[in-house]
Structure 1
């Protein structure tokens, strides 16, 4: 008995020397303050205690806010999160003002943070330079530019390939636009996942691949979004990627997968219906967000200048101007072997008329249905059936 007692004492002292406490607490990660952020998914749950291996997925409390930080974090074995809790704030796009030999025009002029909808156009400063990349880019609703900032390069540079072939295939994801056969340096493509997957946007991952001197750069990593319960009948919240809208408030696990199908529908603008207008280049059934089309009002309607409209992130057209009846006419039309008796003006008001007279060997037929006059009627010239 005495020997056993000494053995226990020796073991206790040994544990003390090694720094091991007989009352050691279980390792957990502490929760942090949520700033405009909700925990949308937790594995095994949203509430503490958070033990090593515990995963949390966040989203902003308002779709108009941008997340700063990582959407997915994990509790590590040392009781620390692999990334800090994210925060959500106003959506802005960063300006890259360190590009050399490039001129950046801002539309409209601003000194405040760049918000979605702002456009930038670029040109090169200096002779012998060409622009590589998109000439115009737009600040998008997700706080990212529609394309990378372009570069200005010497147009005589040779000896290397600057274009890329079609972007690579990615399991469980694809490009949101049809692939082209060739891309220039600076162009990039955006990927989107299929229904039950989402993109891992933690560094070094991204939703984009960029063509750089003949090679595609960047890493796309899809992962299964529903980290929590996958049992039949399970109901969980979910969130769609930028450019897509939820088709339901919750997703339900069924034998055929998550329903409804699809969980996310792409946000598009329907073909615009603008009376008395003609779309340049024809019209499609649907248009992706940030698409731009141009139309002209028919003769006799205003405005006379071409109008450009944009599909916004809410799936609505912005910049539409209705074609209204014009009260004025342009110069009167040309007539073979005849001309106006007075100098033509650039513009005529409704009710004004012009008289025509034939050249030396011709005369006007003034029988009924013919006339020597044309009259401006709400933007159109009426009368004068010359023969």
Structure 2
């Protein structure tokens, strides 16, 4: 700037502090010193020195935004231009909360995270947290809070389930069929963990327990559950007194008492289509037999238990009553070759013959047919009459006559 008079000049610039320039001063001697430090920023000296006119640029660190001018200059008064910039944390917008969810976080600046939780009964779907990035955006979308669903708990065998909803707080109830016991919880609830409050129950059959075995006898089965049947028999030389079999009932009890085996004869049995009039087979006891209607007894109608433990005869049989062959009508046929009680025979006539009487017969319990055998009579045609001015030859009007 060269030498001049020693007078002092005051120069006031707009929006700048007043400063004094000594004419003899050399402008190149103005030095602003080390530029100010800005937190969370890096500075770059654009002109390589700190003298008048030198410039410094500030760049904020990642995640920070510049406030003010990013460049300051060295002024004639030996100070850096104002205001000095600052760096403030990047702010993301409030991300909000998912339906049926919430967060306890309320700081939304750079690198802060927002942690999400779901209300009870809802399950988080997606990332549980999001982070504010340097570009003022969140690094992910909001998660969802979906209603918790439990898996189908199923229905037990021989049981039933009431309830078709399996989401949180839903309850299903169970029951068992008659003869089956509910084992486990009668109702279960879907809880907040997505699991049922208890396993589904089962419906095992009612157990009547071992009914026992008669002395000098045996039983047929070791299964004692609902509807199972246990049969009993006596050893040789002993007779059964009581029920030959027991059934396990739905209330867990047997339908009767275990029989006993008494010294005597073995069970002679009951003839098919007949009855026996005693259940006592002890020595000197007798049993008698009868047959159902339509059946006749073949053999002795009573047996006596002898001292040696054997019956005096074999058990009789009940055979169906026979009505005998009813015969076949002339010029007809019969369909059916069994002539015993309740059997039926069917009749039909040859071509040109018509049936007179019942077309079928049934054998009755008294050994007779319910009707007589029908007859097959030749078909008769009406008198055709004589033509006008003509005459009729022949007087027979039956089938095949001319």
Q: What is the TM-score when the length of structure 2 is the normalising length?
A: 0.25
Pair member with larger Rg: 2
If asked which structure has higher relative contact order (CA below 8 Å, sep 6+), I would say: 1
